[in-house]
Amino acid sequence: MFRLETEADKERRILLGRRLNEDNRNGSPGLRALQSTPAEHELPLDVWLLDGRGALAGGLSGRTWAYWLHVDLLWVDARHRGAGLGARLLAEAERLAREDRACTRSRLETWDFQAPAFYRKQGYEVVGEIKDYPPGVAEFILVKRLDRAAGPPPKAPRGRLLGWRNQPK
């Protein structure tokens, strides 16, 4: 006999994530191959744009995992838009992901009213579109190859580890 519960439970969520991660590794040679490599752990990657007073004028927040950069958030204050600052933030995140973490690709999502044209201009290609997410809006999934300079990959990624992937079992 089973019962369903619907309350939020952080401990169960962590356990659920661990078990799914273990099943995924067992089912995928690609995920097993990541074990004991610098790309095994998800790491945060943040780039901040500060004005002359040190106030936040823009920023990019993302993460790297499995040799991919995932851009979660990119924002520039409306007063500073159009000056190429978003492109600089994105380029710096891509550089750090490529040079410090051996990332070979980048991905992100954006809504149709946000910045799909901006990302295309930065070399991203649309690989997916979800219509009506949320209703009346389309979400785009974009990817970009990150060319890496010659030389050996870094021995270990920089940054602090994050998430359930690295918690003791």
- Torsion angles phi and psi, residue 61, rounded to 5: -125, 130
Per-residue exposure over 68-83, b if at least 16 CB sit within 10 Å of its own CB, e if not: bbbbeebbbeeeeeee
- What tokens appear for 157 in the block? 């990624």
Residue 98 domain-assigned (yes or no): yes
- pLDDT tens-digit readout, 31-63: 989 888 888 889 999 999 999 999 999 999 999
The Cα 81–Cα 164 span in angstroms is: 36
- Which stretch of DSSP H or E encloses residue 86? helix 85-101
Q: 46: burial class by Cβ within 10 Å (0-12, 13-18, 19+)?
A: middle
- pLDDT tens-digit readout, 128-154: 999 999 999 999 999 999 986 555 555
Residue numbers of the domain that contains 70: 36-164
Residue 132 domain-assigned (yes or no): yes
Residue 67 domain-assigned (yes or no): yes
Looking up residue 160, the CATH number of its domain turns out to be 3.40.630.30
Number of domains observed in the structure of the chain: 1
Strands 56-65 and 105-111: unpaired
Residue 23 domain-assigned (yes or no): no
Taking residues 60-85, what's their average pLDDT?
97
Residue 110 domain-assigned (yes or no): yes
Residue 26 domain-assigned (yes or no): no
